[in-house]
């Protein structure tokens, strides 16, 4: 239940080669996927591309320190998705691959997935289970259409789906290990401290994070539904923002239910403007490292407060240095309109009943949305056979899950108005 503590991924780290290969693959695959964008066809949703890397390299792939295979899924679709989400192709490549810096979040969830942050903290690489990968491919078209129709969707922004296949020896035989992973948006900002984090599912069973009083900023807990209720927290949105938020949430939940998805959560990070980046500013300046100067290492760019400070301090530096790389013209006439829920420093300001700004910024989105009902059902049966408490998993049908989720969040919004009377300023 603790997040934001992580490990440097340096040479010698158990996952260094995996991380290195992931980035090498992305670099070559994404830079190859440039040129004119044609309208997507059904084929694009099935297309995969394979690359083989080795020490010597060939005309298709540059030489790589380690031998591995890379598979890119639906590259054209993801390219279009990145454009829809307003990413600049050159920046994307730069963030993910320049100088091979990643940091690892040690297994924050129960699923066993690994999380890696890009060095500028904009992107997250999440390793996923084969079944999640299969499900994403199955729903990709619906997801893509949803994003087109709902540019302000709260659902995780997927930027790429890939696989690496690495050899390992087992009883003096060569075996292969396949690792599926996706690239998505980091909901949290590189430059602002998150003072409170919630992961809300709308179910209360086991949804409590014990909070020992700790002043260690690196151990800021992720609170859950029962904490939310106990703390009597609300999402403060005036009539305008709450209307937009709940409408979008409803659309998103509708899609997820239709796609048989469940077990997702609303991730909410709260930044208090008055508190500011207190830990960041008070920090020990000697801790600072320049990730850009530290060439081969993959320094700890974790969302720990000290690393946020590092990123913050070098942000302008980074921009100055790399602006000349953004030479690509705007893509495909896609108008890059600012995402509604990212309008204030990458998040959205809280507001009062008159729609005036309050001193909080919310960073909010729906995460972990690739688990389908049958997967969870299977897991549940497995757990049952292992004598685990059934309710820990408690797979309810997606529609039930979605309704419960939506109503929990709806009740969590301090709307300041009564829907029936349409009167701003109404308090319950």
| Closest listed residue to residue 105, CA positions, set 208, 186, 200, 161 | 186
Measure the CA–CA gap between 424 and 414, rounded to whole angstroms. Answer: 12
CB nearer Ca ion, residue 111 or residue 250: 111
CB nearer Ca ion, residue 87 or residue 200: 200
Applying CB under 5 A, which part among 60-68, 70-78, 105-113, 206-214 lies near Ca ion?
105-113
Q: Does 44 bind Ca ion (CB under 5 A)?
A: no
How many beta carbons lie within 10 A of that of residue 378, not counting itself?
Answer: 12
Measure the CA–CA gap between 170 and 299, rounded to whole angstroms. Answer: 31
DSSP three-state, residue 8: strand
The contact pattern for ligand ATP, residues 340-369, with x = CB under 6 A and - = no contact, is: ---------------------------xx-
Measure the CA–CA gap between 259 and 404, rounded to whole angstroms. Answer: 16
Q: Does 131 bind Ca ion (CB under 5 A)?
A: no
CB nearer ligand ATP, residue 30 or residue 222: 222
CA 252 to chain centre: 16
Applying CB under 6 A, which part among 35-43, 182-190, 227-235, 287-295 lies near ligand ATP?
182-190
- In whole angstroms, the minimum distance from the beta carbon of 306 to ligand ATP comes to 18
CB nearer Ca ion, residue 88 or residue 368: 368
**Alpha carbons within 13 A on the beta-carbon side of 12:** 5
Measure the CA–CA gap between 316 and 192, rounded to whole angstroms. Answer: 15
The contact pattern for Ca ion, residues 314-353, with x = CB under 5 A and - = no contact, is: ----------------------------------------
Burial (CB < 10 A; 0-12, 13-18, 19+), residue 5, is: middle
Q: Is 106 left (phi over 0), alpha (psi -120 to 50) or beta?
A: beta
Which residues face 158 on adjacent strands?
A: 184
CB nearer ligand ATP, residue 108 or residue 424: 108
Residue of 83, 368, 412, 415 interacting with Ca ion (CB under 5 A): 368
CB nearer ligand ATP, residue 3 or residue 298: 3
Applying CB under 6 A, which part among 13-21, 107-115, 290-298, 352-360 lies near ligand ATP?
107-115
Q: Does 101 bind ligand ATP (CB under 6 A)?
A: no
Q: Does 188 bind ligand ATP (CB under 6 A)?
A: yes
- E strands, 324-356, are 348-351
Measure the CA–CA gap between 257 and 252, rounded to whole angstroms. Answer: 9
Q: Is 348 left (phi over 0), alpha (psi -120 to 50) or beta?
A: beta
Find the residue with minimal CB distance to ligand ATP: 109
Residue of 113, 131, 218, 250 interacting with ligand ATP (CB under 6 A): 113
**Alpha carbons within 13 A on the beta-carbon side of 222:** 16
Measure the CA–CA gap between 34 and 412, rounded to whole angstroms. Answer: 44
Applying CB under 6 A, which part among 178-186, 249-257, 305-313, 417-425 lies near ligand ATP?
178-186
CB nearer Ca ion, residue 3 or residue 74: 3
Buried b (16+ CB within 10 A) or exposed e, 9-21: bbeebebbbbbbb
CB nearer ligand ATP, residue 111 or residue 355: 111
Applying CB under 6 A, which part among 43-51, 110-118, 144-152, 319-327 lies near ligand ATP?
110-118
The contact pattern for ligand ATP, residues 276-315, with x = CB under 6 A and - = no contact, is: ----------------------------------------
Residue of 7, 10, 15, 111 interacting with Ca ion (CB under 5 A): 111
- Binding-site size, ligand ATP (CB under 6 A): 18
351 touches 360 (CB < 8 A): no
Give the DSSP letter of residue 329.
Answer: P
**What residues line the site for Ca ion (CB under 5 A)?**
111, 368
**What residues line the site for ligand ATP (CB under 6 A)?**
3, 108-111, 113, 124, 156, 184-188, 199, 222, 267, 367-368
């Amino acid at each position: 239940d603790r997040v934001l503590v992580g490990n440097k991924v340096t040479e010698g780290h158990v996952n260094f080669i995996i991380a290195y290969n992931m980035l090498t693959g992305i670099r070559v695959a994404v830079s190859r996927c440039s040129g004119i964008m044609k309208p997507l066809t059904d084929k694009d949703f099935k297309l995969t591309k394979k690359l083989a890397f080795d020490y010597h390299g060939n005309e298709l792939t540059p030489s790589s320190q380690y031998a591995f295979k890379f598979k890119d899924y639906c590259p054209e679709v993801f390219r279009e998705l990145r454009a829809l989400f307003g990413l600049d192709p050159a920046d994307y490549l730069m963030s993910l691959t320049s100088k091979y810096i990643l940091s690892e979040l040690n297994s924050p969830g129960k699923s066993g997935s690994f999380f890696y942050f890009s060095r500028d903290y904009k992107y997250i690489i999440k390793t996923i289970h084969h079944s999640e990968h299969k499900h994403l491919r199955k729903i990709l078209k619906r997801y893509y259409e949803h994003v087109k129709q709902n540019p302000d969707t709260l659902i995780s922004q997927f930027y790429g789906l890939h696989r690496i296949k690495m050899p390992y020896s087992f009883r003096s035989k060569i075996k292969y290990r396949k690792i599926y992973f996706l690239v998505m948006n980091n909901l949290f900002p590189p430059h602002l401290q998150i003072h409170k984090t919630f992961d809300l599912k709308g179910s209360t069973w086991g949804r409590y994070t014990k909070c020992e009083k700790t002043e260690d900023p690196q151990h800021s807990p992720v609170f859950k539904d029962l904490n939310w209720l106990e703390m009597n927290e609300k999402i403060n949105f005036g009539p305008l923002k709450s209307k937009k938020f709940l409408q979008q949430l409803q659309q998103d939940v509708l899609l997820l239910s239709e796609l048989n998805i469940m077990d997702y959560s609303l991730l909410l990070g709260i930044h208090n403007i008055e508190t500011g980046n207190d830990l960041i500013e008070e920090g020990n300046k000697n801790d600072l490292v320049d990730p850009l100067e530290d060439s081969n290492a993959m320094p700890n760019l974790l969302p720990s407060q000290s690393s946020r400070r590092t990123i913050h301090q070098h942000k302008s530096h980074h921009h100055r240095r790399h602006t000349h790389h953004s030479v690509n013209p705007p893509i495909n006439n896609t108008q890059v309109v600012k995402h509604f829920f990212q309008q204030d420093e990458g998040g959205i300001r809280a507001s009062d009943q008159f729609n005036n700004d309050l001193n909080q910024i919310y960073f909010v989105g729906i995460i972990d949305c690739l688990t389908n009902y049958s997967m969870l059902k299977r897991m549940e049966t497995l757990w049952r056979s292992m004598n685990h408490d059934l309710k820990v998993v408690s797979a309810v049908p997606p529609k039930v899950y979605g309704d419960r989720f939506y109503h929990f969040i709806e009740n969590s919004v301090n709307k300041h108005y009564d829907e029936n009377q349409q009167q701003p300023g109404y308090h319950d």
